Chain A
Amino acid sequence: MNSLHKTIFKDQVAQQIWTDYLSQVELLCVMLNQRQTADIQMELRAHLLESYTQLSSGSEAERIQSAINKLGQPSEFIPLWVEERLLEGTMPGSGTRNLLNLFKINALKGVKQFIFSMLIGFGYLLAFYFFLSAVLKIFFPEYIGVYLSSSNILFIGYVDSEGFTELLGYWLIPVGLGVAVSLQMFLNKILTRKIGRH
């Protein structure tokens, strides 16, 4: 049991209501780190206990339930709070961890946003693929390149058989790096534009 859930009520029903509430909060904070989760729980705990002590009538269970009703169900406000915490320190181009946080936020906002996030994720993979191809071209110039097959299919990657025409040669290195960087910057911009909408 989390130390923040520790027994504070004599009445078992009240204690159960309290534990259930904080467990729900904890569950909704799953994307946050331990420090951020504890911060939210501590603030809610202080809020609920103060609200509880302000109520003079009723049993312990009735009073804590009333305090919870006033505060609201975790699903009503914790997701937004979690979103805010995930955005902390997230500014355009401020690092992979923050971009990952923005990715998580978008992915959890419904089917449309999930598909959008998948496309963005695919874009990042593509940028990485261009970057990798450019780097590998330095070490394996005969096998890595932009090729045209005999059936006129263009592709970038590894080839060790006959029947392919290499198109870019060593130009793949600057072109690949350029495409990778441009694509990454473009995707970062799209993803971080979401901040302004919060």
Chain B
Amino acid sequence: MYFMDTDVLNDQLNKWKLQLRKGVLLHMTMSLLNKEEMYGYALISFLSKKMNADMAEGTIYPLLNRMVRDGIIRFEWRIMQSGPARKYYQITPQGQQLLKQMHQHWQLINKNLQVLNNE
């Protein structure tokens, strides 16, 4: 029987986690924005906690920009009573439609995985 070295195992696990995080980042961002409109800092703080990951906070902005470009979210600058203006992001109807399909697909993957593990 072949025993995998712990370092190799951890390396594989970390790589898988990274890939998974990249994959679900869009899904999680959209799920969050579907609940409430948020600005960049609040969004990234929440995501870092939920994904239990040390992400460079700046990486969320190109993603948000792409989502705006694709029309699945939109933004609005708001003047705050104190502090600098904030750019609030909110999901669009197209985004909600996409999110619904993403949820369905995610549930299907989850179900298939459970079936596979129970066999």
Q: Which residues of A contact B (CB under 8 A)?
A: 39-40, 42-47, 49-51, 53, 70-72, 74, 76-78, 80-81, 83-85, 87-89, 198
Contact = CB atoms under 8 A, between A and B. Distances in A.
A46 B56 contact: no
9 closest A-B pairs by beta carbon, nearest first, are A72-B56, A77-B58, A72-B58, A84-B65, A80-B62, A46-B84, A81-B62, A50-B41, A71-B57
12 contacts: A39-B87, A42-B87, A43-B61, A45-B84, A46-B39, A46-B83, A46-B84, A53-B83, A70-B56, A77-B62, A83-B62, A88-B69
A190 to B, nearest CB: 21
B74 interface: no
Contacts of A39: 87
Interface string B11-33: 00000000000000000000000
Given A45-B84, A46-B84, A46-B87, A85 B58 contact: no
Q: Which of A39, A80, A83 has the most CB of B within 10 A?
A: A80
Contact of A51 (B41, B62, B66, B87): B41
Interface residues of B, number: 19
Contacts of B61: 40, 43-44, 77, 81
Contacts of B65: 81, 84-85
Given A51-B57, A70-B57, A46 B69 contact: no
A91 B75 CA distance: 21
Given A46-B87, A50-B83, A87 B69 contact: yes
Contacts of A40: 61
B46 to A, nearest CB: 13
A84 B39 contact: no
A59 to B, nearest CB: 21
Contact of B69 (A51, A53, A84): A84
A43 B87 CA distance: 7
B56 A76 contact: yes
B41 A47 contact: yes
Nearest to A82: B62
A76 B59 contact: yes
A86 to B, nearest CB: 10
Interface in B58-107: 58-59, 61-62, 65-66, 69, 77, 83-87
A42 B75 CA distance: 14
Given A42-B87, A43-B61, A46-B84, A198 B41 contact: no
A63 to B, nearest CB: 15
A93 to B, nearest CB: 17
A76 B83 contact: no
A71 B62 contact: no
A42 B84 contact: yes
A198 to B, nearest CB: 7
A80 to B, nearest CB: 4
A92 B95 CA distance: 22
